[in-house]
Structure 1
């Protein structure tokens, strides 16, 4: 599976949660893969809800979002999130702009939670760098 999400915004998300810790490229890559997997699964669930409602367009409400934030307030770019949303759904579905922004917001919150925990794991291991193994450990403990 190709990772659609650029690593730079993911790195920024980890850094804002890591404080004084450094961030390895491997940690950013691992979290980007996990964000993509989670986003694709959420979009597949949203597509099922849209189908149940007789629609071919995914809406923000299909992701459980009532109020959509401004896309400029997000670190994750919307275009790659749109590609992530389409990984597990077929081409007959459309993804509204509000749905893309809602999914990006959900994925950014998800990434913040993982990054915060990974930073805690790095500190616990008495390291000064968040590494891919911290992300993997988080998922082995909490997934």
Structure 2
């Protein structure tokens, strides 16, 4: 499985659409086996979902994220954990241990009526608030 984290100076970057870098972690059996920092080369908002697809990312951990980007990630089949702050490596370790602290409101509160990608894709850990 591959996990991407919006990345800046070792921490989770707080604005998905302006992410200059992602740290992409390759995991096996619940452990990180490889990690690399990749530049987005100026890709923004909607293009970032395609960028993550190119890297075969399964899960995204990020800070703030807009509704359009959430929809693009859902369509790409990338599971989203938004509202995360702090150290990127720790966030991934917490995710792998099943104890990642994330904010379902940051991930799900912007859906339009009838648009419930969150629950369908379990991108909020079952805590979707719409």
Query: TM-score scaled by structure 2?
Result: 0.27
**More relative contact order, 1 or 2 (CA 8 Å, 6+ apart):** 1
Query: TM-score scaled by structure 1?
Result: 0.26
